[in-house]
Amino acid sequence: MNNAINWIIRLNSSLMDQLSISNSTNSDSQIIASSGVFQIELLKHAGESDYSQLIEISKSLEKDYGEKAVLTKTTIQKYFNKAGSLPFIARYREEIIGYIIGVPLEVLSHEPWARMDENFGKGNTLYTYAFVIQSEYKGNGYAKMLKRVFLSWAGKRDNVNHITGHVANGISARFTGDIRIVNRIEDWQGTGKAFEYYRRDLSKEKSPLKNNPPLITRT
């Protein structure tokens, strides 16, 4: 009887802790890298205090990626605070200037291209849901540092073997590492632009391998 009561107490305590975190107005993050006034943080929980900054930054993605790329309170909760997600934010003088987030491929089960991925259902793939740095901070290495941290941490996860994402046609040819283009979408999210769906094999990146984008035509 006492064991049952103790189990219920522990369960209720755990549920209360989870509820407290989910309703927290402040973000919970860990500084991973810093250089002067710039730092990168692992976002353990996105709190409402940072929603407005995240949403404002995401608006710059709409032109190239469509309106679905613009964050809302719902999508922040769904993707940033989803178990298994890997979100990082970049701060400059304490203001958020960018973010990158990887989500389990299975979270995107509503997308036909996700369900068609050969690794769907295996739990071994993170999809790069978004990667953005505000334009005024580009060209100084901040974006590269943010991406490098993201890939490094993704590679440390035992169950993650692949990173995937959508980029404008031809962009993945600039990536280093073991990259393959899985398919191409001629009209991405109604933008009228051609995008390619790439896969990065993390398990092979321990040894130096060249880029391998088989669908890219170079002129």
pLDDT digits (tens, 9 = 90+) for 129-161: 999 999 999 988 999 999 999 999 999 998 999
**Residue 185: strand pairing partners:** 195
Spatial distance between the Cα atoms of 59 and 66, rounded to a whole number of angstroms: 10
205 Cβ contact partners less than 8 Å away, ≥ 6 residues apart: 155, 177, 178
pLDDT digits (tens, 9 = 90+) for 49-61: 999 999 999 999 9
Name residue, tokens 């995107």. Answer: 108
Q: Are 146 and 98 in contact (CB under 8 A)?
A: yes
**pLDDT at position 16 over 60:** no
CATH code for the structural domain at 28-204:
3.40.630.30
Amino acid (one-letter) located at 151: L
Handedness of CA 76, 79, 85, 87 (dihedral sign): negative
